[in-house]
Amino acid sequence: WNEAGMAALIDADMTVARFNFAHGDHAAHQEVLDRFRKVTGDKGAACASLMDTSGPDIHTAMLRGSQLMMEAAHSITIEAVGDRDDKFE
């Protein structure tokens, strides 16, 4: 997402730029948005920004190497383990 690349997309009639914010950190996302706003401002372009943020995730790392068979009418328990997802058994 450098300025030249953004400018080329705008010149090719891009009207909406979708940013995938599901990964990375806030500082990096802000840098990209600031660059995008600069390019659109310099060009006087009307181009919207669509911010695709991360939704809820279900990590299944603890199932690596095994299988989970799910059947109708059976229940499962999902536990939020936060930063312990690599230690949960």
Per-residue pLDDT of the chain in tens (89 residues, 90 and over written 9)? 799 999 999 999 999 999 988 888 889 999 999 999 999 999 999 999 998 887 766 666 566 667 777 788 888 776 666 666 566 55
User: First and final CA of the chain: distance in angstroms?
Assistant: 39
> Which parts of the chain fold into alpha helices (H)?
3-11, 26-43
SS3 18: strand
Give the burial class of 39: count Cβ atoms within 10 A of its Cβ; 0-12 exposed, 13-18 middle, 19 or more buried: buried
What is the model's pLDDT at position 58? 63
Instruction: Look at residue 31 in the predicted model and tell me its pLDDT.
Output: 94
What pLDDT shows up at residue 48?
A: 94
Q: How far is the C-alpha of 16 from the C-alpha of 50, rounded, in Å?
A: 7
* Residue 17 neighbours by CB under 8 Å, 6+ apart: 6, 9, 36, 47, 48, 49, 50
pTM beyond 0.75, yes or no = no
